[in-house]
Chain A
Amino acid sequence: MTRVLHYGFPMVGLRDKKLPGKLIVVEGTDGVGRSTQIALLREWLEANGYATTETGMIRSDLAGAGIKKAKRGHTMSDLTLNLFYSTDFVDRLEKQIIPALRAGFVVLTDRYIYSIIARAQVRGVDPRWIRDVLGFALIPDVVFYLRINVENLIPRVVNSGGFDYWESGMDYLRGDDIYSNYIKYQTEILNQFDSLAEEYHFHVVDANAGVTDVFCRLRDALQIILSDMQPPQTVGSGETHSGTDKKPKAGNTKPKNKKSLKTGRAMK
């Protein structure tokens, strides 16, 4: 991201005005294929010389295990879970995302604050409150929203292991019928995402299409976003992406899709 922007409340101690990396968010409901696309994008990015790293919800060192444990026992109510998610998020932002952006990495993020907001709003949490709590989030360079219809989602979910308790809204919907609850819950979540897509200017990608199609669209959009980044050259000047004062290359020079370039790992 060239300029550091947030949603209302600046991060404590973040002095950078600019960060040379790119923050790429992939949003979408469970089973839409986020992790598949992120894996493909990561490989493509590294093959093209972009140092890439990846993070996602509930993967923080601090709170990841605590959230998983509490969700297993279904012991957390709405406010607590939202604040727990926020703790997990701030920990990853401070320890993974920002340092990587500072070092010039492309950071692929599997879900961001929008997923937290969507699931909170479905459960009747005050929309203003959850936005304020998460107001420190950096505004990403792009939010890809993988949009899918519930009918197309169901076979994928059945195929990949069945209906998850939380992803079916079982914590707040009535009754034991997980299938109908799943449809009800996912429909509500998708509606929330649709309105968030407008509010936060998501780049919407139709995920009803096949994996190849979706990937091509993501890749093409990504190329434009990365156009002001200079991919490292194979015959190097020994230059790294670590300097915060390094000016991103202006103009529309698209990165050349050369398979021969070194992968991002070479930069670590």
Chain B
Amino acid sequence: MAFLPDGTPLRGKLIIVEGIDGSGKSTQLDLLHKWLVSKGFLVSFTEWNSSAVVRQTTKRGKENRLLSPMSFCLIHAADLADRLEHQILPALHAGAIVLADRYIYTAFARDAARGINREWVRSIYRFAVRPTAAFYFRVPLNESLQRILIGRPELKYYEAGLDLGLSDNPYESFRIFQGHILEEYDNIVDEFGLTVIDATQPLVQQQARIRKLLTPYLKGAQKVEHKPWREVLAKEGLYGRYLNDVSGEAEK
């Protein structure tokens, strides 16, 4: 179960993944998503920094480099607040499994790495729902850097922590900044009891472990009939070529 900040239990389950860039958490969450859907669960996916109302301002702040550590912190809190009120909470009330790629611990780690008072960030996010399960994908800094820097050589200003003046070299700055975030995560794991997944293990093993750990929590989660028209097709001997278009849209 997920819980409101005041301890009220919610019908749905909130499952979140955390980790530095290149830890493989999004890949694992995607695999988990597909598995839960195939099991017939009602699933809702949400991603850090994706609120439609807030994103425009965040984008403006990043493009024009208007964000300070404090406004960076607050605008990301606004992003989660909006997604929580419009997406996550309603889905949890409906009994869905909500999958979140990054959650409040990302803010705790990043904002602290930007010099923000840890107590203040925690108090800002007091409105957040307590997750049912939180997985932290632990990976050594060098390995994550290798994964990131091979695939995506262009580093963004805030992503690389260039606003902090750690180094003029984006790669060097990114390395230092990610190192700080990693240190913060290590403390957060203990403070909030996140479940650590060894992200250096083979992907399949990681996924198997996550599924095993989650299974007991899935009891009572809302199920939904995915592609309910399948039965009609089978019965009438139809191919369903128009429906494939429709469902393709819907799944996107």
**Which residue numbers of A lie inside 8 Å of B, CB to CB?**
9-13, 61-63, 65-66, 69-70, 75-80, 82-84, 86-87, 90-91, 94, 126, 129, 132-133, 135-136
Q: Which of B78, B115, B123 contacts A129 (CB 8 A)?
A: B123
> Quick check: A62 and B120 within 8 Å, CB to CB?
no
A76: B residues at CB distance < 8 A:
53, 82
Interface size on B, residues (CB 8 A): 32
Q: Is the interface of B mostly helix, strand, loop or mixed?
A: helix
Contact stretch, chosen from B25-33, B59-67, B237-245: B59-67
| Identity of the chain A residue whose Cβ is nearest the Cβ of B58 in the assembled complex | A66
Whether A83 contacts B74 in the complex (CB less than 8 A), given A62-B57, A75-B53, A90-B68, comes out as yes
A86 to B79, CA, bound (A): 13
B82: A residues at CB distance < 8 A:
76-77, 79-80
Whether A79 contacts B124 in the complex (CB less than 8 A), given A62-B60, A66-B54, A87-B71, comes out as no
Q: Is the interface of A mostly helix, strand, loop or mixed?
A: helix
- Shortest beta-carbon distance, B112 to chain A, in Å? 11
B143: A residues at CB distance < 8 A:
none
> Quick check: A79 and B74 within 8 Å, CB to CB?
no
> Quick check: B78 and A13 within 8 Å, CB to CB?
no
> Quick check: B61 and A62 within 8 Å, CB to CB?
yes
> Quick check: A62 and B85 within 8 Å, CB to CB?
no
Whether A63 contacts B117 in the complex (CB less than 8 A), given A77-B82, A77-B85, A77-B86, comes out as no
A70: B residues at CB distance < 8 A:
53
> Quick check: B69 and A12 within 8 Å, CB to CB?
yes
Q: Mark B108-126, 1 if CB is under 8 A from A, else 0.
A: 0000001111011001101
> Quick check: B117 and A10 within 8 Å, CB to CB?
yes
Q: Is B35 an interface residue (CB 8 A)?
A: no
> Quick check: A132 and B70 within 8 Å, CB to CB?
no
> Quick check: B120 and A136 within 8 Å, CB to CB?
yes
- Shortest beta-carbon distance, A101 to chain B, in Å? 17
Whether A84 contacts B120 in the complex (CB less than 8 A), given A63-B75, A66-B60, comes out as no
